[in-house]
Amino acid sequence: MIICLSSLKGGSGKTTLAVHLAHAISLSKKKVILIDADPQGSSQGWAASREDKPPFPVIGMARNTLHRDLPELLENYDHCVIDTPPRVSALARTAILAADLVLIPVQPSSYDIWAASETVKLIEEAQGFKPEIIAAFVINRKITNTAISREVSEALSDYEFPLLKTTIGQRVIFSESSAGYSVMELAPGKVASTEIKQLSQEVIKMMG
Ligand code: ADP
Ligand code: MG
């Protein structure tokens, strides 16, 4: 299964969730590869920051033919996660076209809600070529008991795509994870780690 993290909004959590989904899947004894399709190379930077070998391969592939090239490359893997750039571009399109599931991270902010419609448009265009692509929103950086956190769920219900049950909270440990280690490594058993495991379970279940 190929899961693509996609959002035209920079800073929404594509890289953070890509790295963590890949790690959570690898912890469930599945072979997973992370494809960094963002020319900025943040996922690659994450892997390179580590002292040790990353727990799954991270490959930079910012090329416009991903949807054609990936199937052959993925023969030896159970799952693939793709991190993407935050711009309407051939790269954003090829990554969506390559995917079985597109996850759209949305922060509880009006800016993110407005930007969601552009991302949805891009995915719907791709579904014109490949109708079997599934897409879903996931709330990232949720702050409990705020009005905007409730409003974001409501605003997203206007779209055809479902909102995942799992939400990822605003947690300092996620910022710390950008130095090359996942929250499962930095704080095993803590809430952040549980949320990520739940996310990966929900995603895998969705794909049957
Ligand atoms: P994108 O790849 O969409 O541009 P990132 O994953 O790089 O977004 O996230 C942007 C910034 O927000 C990073 O500094 C990251 O550490 C931080 N961040 C992302 N998700 C969370 C979270 N749930 N809690 C706290 N910080 C977060
Ligand atoms: Mg990124």
Provide, rounded to the nearest whole percent, the portion of the chain with pLDDT above 90.
Answer: 95
- Which H or E run contains 79? strand 79-83
Among candidate residues 79, 107, 101, 78, the one with its CA nearest the CA of residue 16: 107
Residues with CB under 5 A from ligand 2 (ion): 14-15, 42
Residue 145 scores a pLDDT above 90 = no
Task: Please give the average per-residue pLDDT across 161-171, as a whole number.
Answer: 97
1 C-alpha to center of ligand 1: Å?
24
Residue 208 scores a pLDDT above 90 = no
Q: Do 106 and 140 touch, CB atoms closer than 8 A?
A: yes
3-state secondary structure 112-159: HHHHHHHHHHHHHHHHHHCCCCEEEEEECCECCCCHHHHHHHHHHCCC
User: Residues with beta carbon inside 6 Å of ligand 1?
Assistant: 7, 10-16, 42, 86, 140-141, 168, 170-171, 174-175, 178
- Which tens digits make up the pLDDT trace of 70-110? 999 999 999 999 999 999 999 999 999 999 999 999 999 99
Distance CA 195, CA 10 (A): 22
Atom of ligand 1 nearest to the CA of 12: 3
Res 103: pLDDT: 98
Residue 207 scores a pLDDT above 90 = no
- Average pLDDT value for the chain: 96
- Which tens digits make up the pLDDT trace of 10-47? 999 999 999 999 999 999 999 999 999 999 999 999 99
Distance CA 42, CA 61 (A): 12
The bound ligand whose nearest atom lies closest to the alpha carbon of 169 is: 1
Q: Do 6 and 96 touch, CB atoms closer than 8 A?
A: yes
Residue 150 scores a pLDDT above 90 = no
Q: What ipTM was assigned to the predicted interfaces of this complex?
A: 0.99
Atom of ligand 1 nearest to the CA of 140: 23
Residue 149 scores a pLDDT above 90 = no
